[in-house]
Structure formats: C-alpha cells, structure tokens
Amino acid sequence: MSVLGYVFESPNPRVSSVFSEAPLPLGEYVSMKFKDPRGGGFITALAIVSNSGYRLAVPTSFLRYIGREGSGGVEPPKLSPIALYVIAEVLEGGFPEPPRYPVPPDTPVEPASAGLLESVYGLGGVVRIGGLAPRKLGVEVRVNPDKLAKHLFIAGATGSGKSNLVAILADRLSAIGAPVLIFDVHGEYNIMPEDGDTSKVILVQAKINPLKMSPRVISTIIIPEPAARRQRRQLAVAIKTLNSNIIGVVRKEKTSPDRVIEMMASQHEIEIEEAEDLGREELLAEYYKELLIKTVKINAHTSDEKKRADTIIDKVEEFFERTPVTITGEQPTKHVRPGTITVVDVSALDDEQKRWILKVIVDELLVKLKEGETPIVLVVEEAPLFLGIELGHPVKTTLQKFAREGRKFGGCLIIVSQRPRSLDINVVSQLQNFAFLRMVQEEDVKAVMNIADNLDQSLANIIPTLPDGRAIIMGEWAGRFPALVDIDLHKGKKVGATPPLTKIWSEMREKEKMGKEERVVFSVE
C-alpha cells in the first residue's frame, strides 16, 4: 500500500498527529503498523482522519529573507498536518481491542485495508443498516437489535438523513418480527416496505376519542392554561358524567357507544346544521360535543360554576372545531402487532395535543410490556417537543419512565432530534446507543458530546463535514467500536426527502406552456 504520511507525535493512545504531503479527506480510514512494545509481534492501529490542514513547510517570507526564494526553480515545499482518531488496535493473530499504546513517531500511515476493517467491524449484529464509509471498501455494517433495549438517539440537521435511517430501521426490524410504532409528527412516514408487502404498514390518523381517554386528560387538552384549574375540574366532572351515562346505556342495552350517542342526541332533540353534509364520524363528534355542552350546563349549580360554564363551553366548541375527534376509532396501540409498522400521524394536531396523545400512547405501551406482550420499538420524532429543557409537561416524565422501566420488559425507545441542544440531558442521558449525522451548529455538537460520554472531541470534529446519509454509529448496538457508515437509502420512503425543485419547476413550466397552447388553439377555433 502507498504511504500517506508519517506519525509526528501521539499525545495519547487515542490521538496521533501526522505530517503528509497533501491533505487527507475527513472520515478516511487509515492504518498504522508498529512493533508491539512488549515484543513478539506487530500491532496494527485503525484510525479515522478527524482533522486536516495544509500549509507551507517553510514560509515564503523566510525563504525570501535568506535569499532562497525561487532558487533553482524549486517550489517551496508544502505539508499537511493531520489529526487521527485511533479506533482500535489489532495484535497479529489476535482480536481488536481499544487502543492501549500511543502510536510511535515515524510510523507510516497507509490506507486501511478491507481485511483490517472486517476484523474490527465484522462481528456485528443481524440487521444491516449500510456500508462502512466509503462504500468502495465493500464492508457492510450490521447492528444488534438485542441491544436496542438500551435505547437509541438519532441526531442530525434537517436533510442529513434522520428519517431515512428511521425508515431503514423500522422496515428491517419489522422484517425480523419486531412491532414498530412511529410517532409521526410531520406526516412523512407513509413507507413502502422493501419487500413490497404494504399490509405490514398500518397508517393511523391520530384522533382524540373522549370515550377512551381519562376525563382528567381530556379536560387538560381542552383547557391547557395552568391557571384554569377550576374550569378543568368542572369540565372533567362533566366529561365523566356524560361518559358514565353513555357506558351505562351501552352495558344495559348491549349496544355500541355510537348508537347510544345517536339515541341520546335524539332524546335531547339535538339538531346539527348541515348534518347531511357531514360523514357519520363527524356527525357523532358533533352530537358528543352538544351532549357535553348540555352536561356542563346541567352540572353548573352554584353561581360561580354558572359563570365558568360559559368560558368552558367556548373552549369546548373551539376544541371540537380545530381537533380531529373520533367516537368509534380505536386507540393507536390497538393496531400494534409483531412484524408490523404502525405509523401514528399526529400532523393535524397542535403541539400540546401531540404531547398528550404521546403520553397516553407511551403509558399504554408500558402497561402492555409489563403484562408480557411482545417487546416493541417506539420511535419519537422531533424530540424537543416532548423532552425540551424548559418543558414541564407530564409527557417528559412518561418518556423518562419508559426509558428507565421499559428496557426490563423489552421496550426499545428511539429518540430523533435535529436540535440536541434543546433536549433535557437528564432524560436523554439514559439512551446508550447513538447515530450522529451531520450537525453544523457548535452547540448541537457539544450537546451530543455531553449525551454520549464516549464521543471524543477529535471524533466529533467530523460531524459538521458529514455528507447526507453518512453517520457516526456508536454504542453496543454497533459493536465495540464507533463506525462511520453510509446508511442504505430506503427507496420506499418518499415524503420527507428534499424535493428536486428544479425538476418540479421545469415540469410545471412545460405543462403551463402546453396548457396555454391548447387554450390559444381552442380560442382560434
């Protein structure tokens, strides 16, 4: 192999400084072979280029000063100071180990061979996520799904490839039997599985079912203001009263809740304007709203309660006007089963509603896990909405509880964020597996270094330069050593990818031109 440079110094076993004639690209895998200080063989160190510079070996001004500038037509020599992050060392005939010896000065630096990379990374798991960068090396990277019980944190800037990695994981984990639930904040996970089996992707439009959630939670969603405790309490009592009446009739008449709601609306002579234009689900929601408003009025006995009732009714009407509500729909967790991807689309809800829906889902999943149901993978997108530093919402406590207790029963939590600096370190520090894609903000890089204790500064230097789809993979799920991986492209995930604007605009312009020509021909005729 060709020599790329020579070690100048190694301040510790993890870092080596190298001089080369020309810069090396960041993220390049290299090797350094040196004699075992204990004797009896050689050690080969595997490293990644973590920094690279370029300068004159001798300043031109100094050459001019001593009268050597341009002497004999020789161009002043240049050199590249390069920093290496040492990943592992392999003793001849042995297994890879974390680096124990600093690489000696004057050790030659060479391109890493595929054989060396296979020896370090070839003991991975069963689920492929991509190939070792660069792909031309032909070394695939597999992760161990058993280690996901220690949870996974995916971080990267917009467009860096986070949702593609989620799609790859969801598809390939479900292919080995895992039930996967994706809490889809932006409505971008309508995935076409790689095997073409669309039946294993269950798309659920998140709606709030007031009959399936606790009155306290529903009243908090409708009236979220912290100071409105009495209004919330009064509304919760009304919801509990109405739901108890509905459920009582359901049990007595042995019928369905929707039939009971229609019957009660008829008894109270509730008429909905433009009812013929509404679907049955929308009509049932309107009936429920009117029955709830009547219950609020009936339950208001004291003068104070009657004063609060008007405000409560306004907030109830506003809630039903802007919120997707279902009376017959099941909770999203009812759809979870082995080998499937359940995508809960909450893009139609506001941030506060998303938080409450997620809390309810996570609580239910934790109960199911404790009851012995199949271990599940839960993916939470846009983590700062639910785990923000300043957030005081119960969903944060619920996610923390799932991370702490869920692992005992096989609950695997995957947190995804483009703003790691906004996350509560006390919660995300429980995540012990990592995938770091490109991040350009210094605060975000510092944040992930705080979250991942073993992410060294010299390795973190690579993060801002990563191309789309390339990630630093760390933690037990990836094996003993961090890896630089080109994540496989999931061709079945279209939404969320950066659109080809030039192509779209060109096609639209051509259609517009054709449309104008047709209109001209038509007008002439």
Read off the pLDDT of residues 206-225 as tens digits, 9 standing for 90 and up.
888 898 888 988 888 888 88
Above 90 in pLDDT, residue 515?
no
Q: b/e map of 451-473 (b: 16 or more CB within 10 Å)? A: bbeebbebbbbbbeebebbbbbb
Residue 499 amino acid letter: P
Residue whose entry in the numeric block shows the structure tokens 């203001």: 225
Classify residue 507: in a domain, yes or no: no
**In which band, very low, low, confident or very high, does the pLDDT at 231 lie, cut at 50, 70 and 90?**
very high
d(CA 1, CA 12): 26
Above 90 in pLDDT, residue 13?
yes
Residues 187 and 113 placed together within one structural domain of the fold: no
Q: Which residues contact 501 (CB under 8 A, 6 or more apart)?
A: none
Residues 248 and 182 placed together within one structural domain of the fold: no
d(CA 127, CA 100): 30
Residues 230 and 370 placed together within one structural domain of the fold: no
Residues 144 and 250 placed together within one structural domain of the fold: no
Residue whose entry in the numeric block shows the structure tokens 């994706």: 182
The residues pairing with 472 across neighbouring beta strands, listed in sequence order, are 436, 484
d(CA 524, CA 315): 58
Q: Which residues contact 461 (CB under 8 A, 6 or more apart)?
A: 26, 50, 51, 83
Are the C-beta atoms of residues 157 and 352 closer than 8 Å to each other?
no
Above 50 in pLDDT, residue 390?
yes
Across the chain, what does the average pLDDT equal?
87
**Residue 134 preceded by cis peptide, ω within 30:** yes
Residues 278 and 387 placed together within one structural domain of the fold: no
pLDDT at 407: 85
Above 60 in pLDDT, residue 514?
yes
Residues 296 and 178 placed together within one structural domain of the fold: no
Q: Which residue, 291, 322, 353, sits at the end of a domain?
A: 322
pLDDT at 6: 94
Residue whose entry in the numeric block shows the structure tokens 């009446």: 245
pLDDT at 44: 93
The residue segments making up the domain with residue 56 are 5-121
Classify residue 508: in a domain, yes or no: no
Above 70 in pLDDT, residue 484?
yes
Are the C-beta atoms of residues 221 and 356 closer than 8 Å to each other?
yes
Residue whose entry in the numeric block shows the structure tokens 């030659």: 108
Q: Which residue, 121, 152, 175, sits at the end of a domain?
A: 121
Classify residue 496: in a domain, yes or no: no
Residues 344 and 436 placed together within one structural domain of the fold: yes
d(CA 443, CA 389): 14
Q: Which residues contact 507 (CB under 8 A, 6 or more apart)?
A: none
Percent of the chain having pLDDT more than 70? 93
List strands edge to edge, sheet with 341-345: 140-143, 127-132, 483-487, 470-474, 433-436, 152-155, 412-417, 377-380, 180-184, 341-345, 201-205
CATH of the domain at 180: 3.40.50.300
Give 22-70 pLDDT, tens digit per residue.
Answer: 888 888 999 999 998 877 789 999 999 999 988 877 676 766 666 665 5
343 three-class SS: strand
Classify residue 200: in a domain, yes or no: yes
Directed axis angle between helix 394-405 and helix 351-370, to 10°?
30
Classify residue 311: in a domain, yes or no: yes
Classify residue 241: in a domain, yes or no: yes
Residues 171 and 282 placed together within one structural domain of the fold: no
Classify residue 314: in a domain, yes or no: yes
Alpha helices in 323-428, H assignment, sequence order:
351-370, 384-387, 394-405, 425-428
Classify residue 509: in a domain, yes or no: no
pLDDT at 268: 85
Are the C-beta atoms of residues 148 and 412 closer than 8 Å to each other?
yes
Residues 367 and 479 placed together within one structural domain of the fold: yes
d(CA 122, CA 142): 8
454 three-class SS: coil
d(CA 345, CA 255): 30
Q: Which residue, 322, 357, 385, sits at the end of a domain?
A: 322
Residues 222 and 184 placed together within one structural domain of the fold: no
Give 163-208 pLDDT, tens digit per residue.
Answer: 999 999 999 999 999 999 999 999 888 888 888 888 899 999 888 8
Residues 100 and 245 placed together within one structural domain of the fold: no
State pTM to two decimals: 0.84
Above 90 in pLDDT, residue 416?
yes
Are the C-beta atoms of residues 99 and 37 closer than 8 Å to each other?
no
pLDDT at 525: 45
Give 363-379 pLDDT, tens digit per residue.
Answer: 889 888 888 888 999 99
pLDDT at 262: 87
* Residue of 500, 503, 467, 509 whose CA lies nearest to 485: 467
Domain count, the chain: 3
* Half-sphere exposure for 437 (CA within 13 Å, toward CB): 24
Residues 150 and 116 placed together within one structural domain of the fold: no
Label residue 320 exposed, middle or buried (CB < 10 Å: 0-12, 13-18, 19+). buried
